[in-house]
Structure 1
Amino acid sequence: MIFFVTGTDTDSGKTQVAAALLYKARTRYGLKTVGVKPIASGCTRTAYGLRNADALMLMEQSSLKLDYEKVNPFAFEPAIAPHVAATDAGIELSPEGVLARLDLTQYSMADFCLVEGAGGWRLPLGNNRYLSETVVALAMPVIIVVGMKLGCLNHAVMTEELIYADGLQVAGWVANRAQPDMARFEENLASLKQMMQSPFLGTIPHIPGADVAEMAEHLDLAPLLQSP
């Protein structure tokens, strides 16, 4: 099973939710897991090369151990839009180029694989191309992480509609309370449950430190494990 994880915006909490899903699949269901982040900006320069905190978090929850370059093939140091960082680095990003760098043979060795995007569904790669085109080419079902804050209702519904319009399955969505002070949280959550068409995978409360094991307790993997 390979799923793509997208968010309603940059700070929706995709990585923490993806890590929690991997943790639960590994510890509760005994599945062989792997997490991948093809494109990442805001990386840190180390003795081993550029390293991204999100990619490292996914690797920590992966029972299938891959070389870093297999997990995060496009790593950029500046914390800016990846297509801008790529241009500065003299690298051309394209859906085909991303696809070519994904080691699908290795990923398929896992029972449960998550490929995390960067930003939202229409992450630009430059030249009017988008990362979503790579997801469409692979026909990956998508998990949406909704960062619960003012404006998320519109962002969540539009994201789901775009994914369906691209001909893909939405495997489920997660409400992540990244902002603890969101006004009228329960009413907004109830509205989302009425408006979203895809399966609801759970609500993650605000957890200081984003403890992955604690977050996993609030997630329901059943709809994902039942996916074809």
Structure 2
Amino acid sequence: MLARPHHDVFVTGTDTEIGKTLVSAALLYAMQQQGWRSVGMKPVAAGAEWQDGAWHNEDVDALIANSNVDAAEELVCPYLMQTPAAPHIVAGLEKITISLPHIHQCYQQLHQLSDAVVVEGVGGFCVPLNDQHTTADLAQNLNLPVIMVVGMRLGCINHALLTVEAIAARGLNLLAWVANTADPAMLYLDENVAALRARIDAPLLGQIPRLNVPEDQKARSAASYLDLSLLK
């Protein structure tokens, strides 16, 4: 019996708060529609609230809500920290040592449980995780195809092209990119998307507008703007 193909990806972004979680959750939802066993992973999450007897991070919760694989939360998020700030700073304050080998072990377990693991990075591509490593090191350690989320707002072209260069410098494959409308009032939005399409040597997976739908419907709505055939 042949093993089913895997569709694991690493989702990075041009900055923080530009839609990585929205895109990751949308990918998980869309993968389910393909009949894939899909699970999200947020290796490092900074910012949590105490709810129902446990610490919760909204990004992690969104990934879990849109996964159809029942996985232990410590695999989905090996490092959940309380303070919403730069991971390397919070880890120091909370006496946590972020270990890339441990993250890789958790990823491998999720890989065994699924057809697709969507690994969401933290912040932009080069955010420090500790004194030695950054998110770029994590992406390189996992060695997965990368999907880049571009937050469409003023300055995004420069941020996107620098991120593309950083991904290539790590020897990683930029599988596709997503244009997510971070600023609905952005001037010349379509022209900016066109400029990026002309300069990024990877397909545009989708352009997501500002979504005016309830929070629990955003992943499903965003998924309708993604062309999952590019991931097969």
TM-score range, shorter chain: over 0.9
**Unpaired stretches in structure 1, ≥5 consecutive residues:** none
Q: Residue 22 of structure 2 corresponds to which residue in structure 1?
A: 16
Residue 62 in structure 1 maps to residue 39 in structure 2? no
Q: Residue type matched to 1:217 in 2?
A: S
Gap change, CA 1:71 and 1:130, over 3 Å in 2? same
Gap change, CA 1:98 and 1:72, over 3 Å in 2? same
TM-score by length of 2: 0.91
1:208 aligned residue (208, 212, 219): 212
CA–CA distance in 2 between the matches of 1:112 and 1:119? Answer: 22
Is the partner of 1:4 in helix, strand or coil? strand
CA–CA distance in 1 between the matches of 2:113 and 2:102? Answer: 22
Cα deviation, residue 105, structure 1: 2.5
CA–CA distance in 2 between the matches of 1:200 and 1:214? Answer: 18
Q: Residue 171 of structure 1 corresponds to which residue in structure 2?
A: 175
Q: Residue 35 of structure 2 corresponds to which residue in structure 1?
A: 30
Cα deviation, residue 57, structure 1: 0.5
CA–CA distance in 1 between the matches of 2:75 and 2:98? Answer: 17
CA deviations on 1:155-179 (whole Å, 9 max, x unpaired) are 1111111111100101100000121
Residue 4 in structure 1 maps to residue 10 in structure 2? yes
Within 5 Å, which residues of 2 pair with 1:53-202? 53-100=58-105, 102-202=106-206
Superposed CA RMSD = 1.4
CA–CA distance in 2 between the matches of 1:96 and 1:109? Answer: 19
Percent of matched pairs sharing the same residue? 38
CA–CA distance in 1 between the matches of 2:200 and 2:59? Answer: 27
**Unpaired stretches in structure 2, ≥5 consecutive residues:** 1-6
Q: Residue 40 of structure 1 corresponds to which residue in structure 2?
A: 45
Runs of 4+ off more than 3 Å:
none
| Contact 2:175–2:202 (CA under 8 A) maintained in structure 1 | yes
Gap change, CA 1:222 and 1:46, over 3 Å in 2? same
CA deviations on 1:49-75 (whole Å, 9 max, x unpaired) are 321111110111111011211111101
CA–CA distance in 1 between the matches of 2:110 and 2:17? Answer: 29
